[in-house]
Structure 1
Amino acid sequence: MKRIVLGVLGLAGLLYVVRRPLAMSAPRCFGGHWHGCYDTENGVVLMTLVGLPVAALAVWALVLVRRGGDRWRRSIAEVGVVYGTVPMVWLTLMPGPGAGLVPGRLSLVPLRDLVTMGPLGIGGNLLIFAALGFFAPMRFVALASAPRILVLGAGCSVLVEVAQYAFQLDRVSSVDDVLVNATGAVLAGLASRRWWRVPEKQREKVTTTS
């Protein structure tokens, strides 16, 4: 309960800080305009927050059509992966002002870009695949280990960086982005470890022992 209260307070504080930037995008987003909403960071964040009730309804609908004691966990994990990952990937694939005009840029020296990222940049990169790392091992037994979450996060990050380079989105494809993205996935996965899905044999063994 204490963690939930702290989480709610933290979210409320964050929303208070970003309320003005989000409010600037509200007229375009709620007016049904693509430009000025889904092609801006503030607009994407705003619509992600607005979509939270829809995500909750999706979880509820999945629970209703399923059976089994772990239906809540599976439903929350599936919706959580999509709801928490798609907007973040969308943000990373938003084109810059020189998209299509400038060639793709690479930064392959590890740890060189960390200095220029700054706290906000590092924090943002940690969050890119945090939802994936948090929820995927709750849904899939095969991903219920830190090394596999690391590989999953790194693999997805590599795909994003390759897309940024191949489509000339006026972004730098950096190895440091991959490192930080993968680290964020692992840290988030460790935070959800108590809810990881375990094999049936291991679950039966634990039940028998208890």
Structure 2
Amino acid sequence: MLDKWQDWVGTFTGVVAGTVVALPVAAVVVCGLAYRRRNTGATTGWAWRRSLAEVGSVYGTVPFVWMTLMPGSGAGIVPGRVSLVPLQDLLAMDRGQVIGNLLVLAALGCFAPLRFAALASLPRILALAAGCSALIETAQYVLQLDRVSSVDDILLNTAGAGLAALASRRWWLATATGSHMPAIRRAG
């Protein structure tokens, strides 16, 4: 089924399979980063949270963004289409599209506040997600990927990031207060 490299990078099935195959690699990278940080004087909790935040935000976001930027059958031939009327496309979306759009930036919303203290507020995460989603929709239009660039996609992507941020809020609030910052080594 996934015989050629194009099957891995050019189909939804291939991207999902590649994401599953990459999970052990992501886990090893998290462990390696945490171990390295722990050996340089960071507290165990801080080292694990920061490592998980970095790897999790990339691992959980890149496959979804990749899928949204896959060309359709008329890519390069069909001109870009734009839908700027809020909630119009949402009513026509099936459940899978809605869930997929909610997941596109969910990992970013969950993990970015853990990694970057400046993002540890819901309005900032929503602004980041809206900006990232607008970039994705703009890329779909400019690259003529035979996709509809829709304001509803931006709303759903942003909502997914916001919901994920709320789900991880307990952890990023603890990180923002500095309770898991690395210990400072004293010369001596």
Post-superposition CA distance 1:143-166 (Å, at most 9, x none): 111111111111100000000000
- Distance in 1, matches of 2:95 and 2:76, equals 29
Partner residue of 1:63 out of 34, 37, 48:
34
- Please say if 1:41 is aligned against 2:12: yes
2:94 to 118, 125, 132: 118
| Alignment-mate amino acid for residue 185 of structure 1 | A
Identity of aligned residues (%): 61
* Unmatched runs of 5 consecutive residues or more in structure 1: 1-24, 205-210
1:143 aligns with 2:86: no
Secondary structure at 1:106 match in 2: strand
- Does 1:85 find its partner at 2:61? yes
* Alpha-carbon distance in structure 2 between the residues aligned to 1:192 and 1:44: 26
Corresponding residue for residue 99 of structure 1: 75
**TM-score relative to the length of structure 1:** 0.80
**Alignment-derived partner of residue 166 in structure 1:** 142
After superposition, the CA RMSD in angstroms is 1.2
User: 2: CA distance between counterparts of 1:134 and 1:35?
Assistant: 31
| Matching residue of 2:160 | 184
For this pair of structures, how many residues does the alignment match?
173
Q: SS of 1:153's equivalent?
A: helix
- 1:10-21 alignment runs, 5 A limit: none
Q: Which residue of structure 2 aligns with residue 11 of structure 1?
A: none
Give SS of 2:149's match: strand
- Offset of residue 61 of structure 1: 1.0
Q: TM-score, normalised by structure 2?
A: 0.89
**Greater relative contact order (Cα 8 A, min sep 6): structure 1 or 2?**
2
Matched AA of 2:76 = G
Partners of 1:57 and 1:35 in 2: how far apart? 26
Choose 100-109 or 60-69, whichever is displaced more. Answer: 60-69
Provide the C-alpha distance between the structure 2 equivalents of 1:36 and 1:187, rounded to a whole number of angstroms.
32
Amino acid at match of 1:119: R
